Amino acid sequence: MVSTILPLTLKDVAVRRRGKRLLGPVDLTLDPDGLTMIIGPNGSGKTTLLRVMHGVERLSTGTATWAVPEEEARHRQSYVFQTPIMLRRTVADNLGYPLRLLNAPRAQVNARVRHWAERIGLADRLSLQATRLSGGEKQKLALARALIRKPDVLFLDEPCANLDGASTRDIESILQTALSEKTRIIMTTHDLGQARRLASDAVFMLHGVVHERGPASRFFGAAQTAELQAFFRGDIIA
């Protein structure tokens, strides 16, 4: 097994539904390190692009190619939805589920469940039904469940959209730690403050295409296009 499944290369990728173009054409390469933030107005194609990268969106044209065979890449990545999906089981069962799918030894599963429960502040709630958690707790649980098997790549779709400041801070702390542990993160957000805090590079989506991309220092400090400048000002972009 190679050390990473990246780079991921999208070439001439487009997604159409019922004759309407949702995405593309997109040409984009994701390198092995950092956190790529995808921003843009509603309907610009952010989530569709994320789903294409993760391999759960059918392509109308083009290719999405990993550095390893597709089947291997699929097993070495995770995805967290904007609204967390909880199994109707305990917190412990939710955390351990990905490891049990891999037939990990019970002792290893239990140890990693305890470790992650401590990291997300739910060590005293392992026996609680996960559906009874608060929104912020559910999102932290979903994030921990995605990270517990140490994926190469983590996709996040607006993970803090419905959270308060304290929960958002907790999520960002988990992400910073994941980055330090060499997990590659690709994330959508409407929160420009969060984008500036976390991103190593950023992509601006508009009308289904990559309108601008660059390292965070240039992207947020010296936008190259009038559309991105307008987006930063909070203008409505038609």
Do 198 and 172 share a structural domain? yes
**How many whole angstroms separate alpha carbon 200 and alpha carbon 214?**
9
Domain that holds residue 112: 87-132
The answer to whether residues 205 and 49 touch, using CB atoms and an 8 Å cutoff, is yes
User: 194 and 81 share a domain?
Assistant: yes
Which CATH number covers residue 222?
A: 3.40.50.300
Clarify whether residues 81 and 159 are in a common domain.
yes
Question: How do strand 184-188 and strand 35-39 relate by DSSP bridges?
Answer: parallel
pLDDT of the residue at 226: 97
Query: Do both 82 and 92 map to the same domain?
Result: no
Tell me: do 149 and 224 sit in the same domain: yes
pTM, rounded to two decimals: 0.95
Helices within 2-69 (DSSP H only): 46-54
Residues 140 and 188 reside in one and the same domain: yes
Q: Which two tokens stand for residue 215?
A: 């390292």
CB atoms within 10 A of CB 75: 13
CB 43 within 8 A of CB 59: no
User: CA separation (Å) from 138 to 15, 122, 167?
Assistant: 31, 10, 10
Helix H or strand E segment including 208:
none
CA 55 distance to own-chain centroid: 13
What domain count does the chain have?
A: 2
pLDDT, residue 1, reads: 46
Domain boundary, last residue among 132, 157, 189: 132
pLDDT tens for each residue of the chain, 238 residues long = 457 999 999 999 999 999 999 999 999 999 999 999 999 999 999 999 999 999 999 999 999 999 999 999 999 999 999 999 999 999 999 999 999 999 999 999 999 999 999 999 999 999 999 999 999 999 999 999 999 999 999 999 999 998 999 999 999 999 999 999 999 999 999 999 999 999 999 999 999 999 999 999 999 999 999 999 999 999 999 7
For residues 20 and 122, membership in a common domain is answered with no
Listing from the earlier edge strand, what are the strands of the sheet with 61-65?
20-30, 8-17, 61-65
82 and 180 together in one domain? yes
Buried b (16+ CB within 10 A) or exposed e, 78-115: bbbeeebebeeebbbbbbbbbbeeeebeeeebeebbee
**Same structural domain, 15 and 127:** no
Tell me how far the alpha carbon of residue 218 is from its chain's centroid: 22
Q: Which of 56, 53, 59 is nearest to 22 (CA)?
A: 59
Using CA atoms, how far apart are residues 10 and 5, in angstroms rounded to an integer? Answer: 14
Q: Tell whether 1 is covered by a domain.
A: no
What is the rounded CA–CA span in Å between residue 188 and residue 199?
11
Q: Is 3 within a domain?
A: no
Domain limit, last residue, from 99, 132, 165? 132
State residue 238's pLDDT score: 78
- According to the model, what pLDDT value does residue 2 have? 55
Is 2 domain-assigned? no
User: What pLDDT does 127 receive?
Assistant: 97
- Does one domain contain both 74 and 140? yes
The answer to whether residue 139 is domain-embedded is yes
Same domain, 81 and 179: yes
Answer whether residue 198 is part of any domain: yes
Q: What integer pLDDT is reported at residue 162 of this predicted model? A: 85
pLDDT of residue 3: 78
* Rg, C-alpha atoms of the chain: 18
